[in-house]
Structure 1
Amino acid sequence: MDNEREMLSIILLLLALVNISNGFLVWDNSAQSKRNSGMPEVCRGRYDAAIFTQLENICEDCYNLYKEPDVHQLCRSECFGSSFFKQCLEALLMVEDEYVNMAEIIGK
Structure 2
Amino acid sequence: MCSRNIKISVVLFLVLIPIFTALPHNHNLSKRSNFFDLECKGIFNKTMFFRLDRICEDCYQLFRETSIHRLCKKDCFDSKWFGECVKVLLTPSEEITNLQHFIKVVNGSPISFNMAPVT
> How would you bin the TM-score normalised by the shorter chain?
0.5 to 0.7
Aligned length: 74
Structure 1 stretches lacking a partner, 5+ long: 1-33
2:105 counterpart of 1:105: yes
Name the Cα RMSD after superposition.
1.7
Q: Give 1:46 shift.
A: 1.1
Q: List gaps (5 residues or longer) in structure 2.
A: 1-28, 109-119
Alignment-derived partner of residue 15 in structure 1: none
- Equivalent position SS for 2:90: coil
Describe how 1:84-103 pairs up with structure 2 within 5 A: 84-94=81-91, 95=93, 96-103=96-103
- Aligned-partner Cα distance in 1 for 2:79–2:97: 14
> Among 1, 19, 36, which residue is 1:40 paired with?
36
Higher Rg of the two aligned structures: 2
Q: TM-score, normalised by structure 1?
A: 0.62
Normalised TM-score (structure 2): 0.57
- Give the alignment partner of residue 55 of structure 2, picking from 55, 58, 63: 58
Query: How much identity, in percent, do the aligned residues show?
Result: 30
Letter in 2 for 1:37: R
Contact 1:76–1:85 at 8 Å: present in 2 too?
A: yes
